[in-house]
Homo-oligomer: A and B are copies of this chain.
């Protein structure tokens, strides 16, 4: 279990996010994601290659090695557990947790993280609905779909709103639907394609087809 610098961890995390399940990542794409310069990326890629965290041939892009992925999942685990802690215990709102977790995630004491996990009750998803890797690095894949497609009684988390105009935000605000809100669809009505949804322990409410089409959710599956 080696230790990596904050900078190295930020590169690893960004590569993990950019490469998806198969692809390779380009120097420019990574420089852009990290708001740094391509020359700095090349320098770091040499270092991470020497540490066997990624596969890299000059000019050919790069992707994480097995070990690199393992490290990335560790960082993501720490990040998401802290996000959960901040939202659930310290009552931060969903849009504040990310920035703070970016700092906390670099404290890499395994016992701390495993005890935090236990304290939080082994949560499966963070406040944005993204899955939290377990202590051995296993992670569930996330389904992201439109609320109109969500199976009945499947608990999901609001992850995105298509149309960000103020009329829709006003309505969402009124219905207490925010990014990070947990909900499930209780019933659908064929007549106007409206649906009844339940948010936490609040009484179920009815939302229109038009609104549902703009809400995207994530759930484990």
> Is A86 interfacial (CB 8 A cutoff)?
yes
Complex: A168 Cα to B103 Cα, angstroms: 43
Complex: A107 Cα to B100 Cα, angstroms: 8
A111 CB contacts on chain B under 8 angstroms: 92, 96, 100
**What's the nearest-Cβ distance from chain B to residue A26, in Å?**
32
A164 CB contacts on chain B under 8 angstroms: none
Q: Chain A: interface secondary structure?
A: helix
A115 touches B91 (CB 8 A): yes
B89 touches A112 (CB 8 A): no
Given A86-B112, A112-B86, A103 and B107 contact (CB-CB distance below 8 Å) = yes
> Is A104 interfacial (CB 8 A cutoff)?
yes
A100 touches B119 (CB 8 A): no
Interface size on A, residues (CB 8 A): 18
Which one, B86, B92, B109, B118, contacts A100 given CB within 8 A? B109
Complex: A86 Cα to B116 Cα, angstroms: 9
A202 CB contacts on chain B under 8 angstroms: none
> Is A90 interfacial (CB 8 A cutoff)?
yes
A96 CB contacts on chain B under 8 angstroms: 111
**What's the nearest-Cβ distance from chain B to residue A86, in Å?**
7
B109 touches A107 (CB 8 A): no
Complex: A116 Cα to B89 Cα, angstroms: 9
A116 touches B90 (CB 8 A): yes
Which one, B90, B107, B119, contacts A115 given CB within 8 A? B90
**What's the nearest-Cβ distance from chain B to residue A207, in Å?**
32
Complex: A104 Cα to B112 Cα, angstroms: 10
Complex: A37 Cα to B169 Cα, angstroms: 58
Residue of B nearest to A112 (CB): B100
Interface residues of A (CB under 8 A from B): 86, 89-92, 96, 99-100, 103-104, 107, 109, 111-112, 115-116, 118-119
The 10 A-B pairs at the shortest CB distance, nearest first, are namely A90-B115, A103-B107, A100-B112, A100-B109, A90-B119, A104-B107, A89-B119, A90-B116, A103-B109, A91-B115
